[in-house]
Structure 1
Amino acid sequence: MSHVHEIANIQVDLAAGVPRDAADYARGKVAAIAKYAPADIAYAKVRLSTDGPRLLVAHASLDVNGTLVNADASAGTYHEAVDLMHDKLQHQLADMGR
């Protein structure tokens, strides 16, 4: 039976103009990727910002047993940007476990 990994600390930073509910959405999506990690994740830092009037940027940095894993994504909404960032993180963590 395999150990289910977790993220000890998830910090979300929102730039001006990013809706407050974006933080909860990002936190939930990042927490969901812990199961793909080969080890517990000491912390995850997520930053949601805007790039011009129509683009939202999501950036995450995770500490997986001392190895930093980063992902960036841009999209028209925070849901899309966070979802793309989630997919990138998921692939990187799955690759680490192989």
Structure 2
Amino acid sequence: MPAADRGSIQPRYDAEFVAAAITGARAGVELARELGAGVDGWAVDIVRARLSLADIEESAVRTAAAMAAGTAMGVRDRMCVRFGSGWYVVPGPGGRGPCRP
């Protein structure tokens, strides 16, 4: 990413968000595996991570990356986003209705 692109996270300036995106993608793959998706042979490439640096924190980046990975592996309908001391993803109802708190 060009240094002037402040809408995308960059390893040099936003190392904590880059690490959070990588951690979240790994967590999304693991949750997809737990939910029965075949993840062997998959590779997750983080091509671009765009965010508003004004009001973002690491757990939101991790959660977004986890949801993106789960969506790519076809298990989005079985994943729910929660908040409690930060954002996180949990297994959901499996298409049996909306996520409940």
TM-score, normalization by structure 1: 0.40
Which structure has more strand as a fraction of its residues? 1
TM-score, normalization by structure 2: 0.39
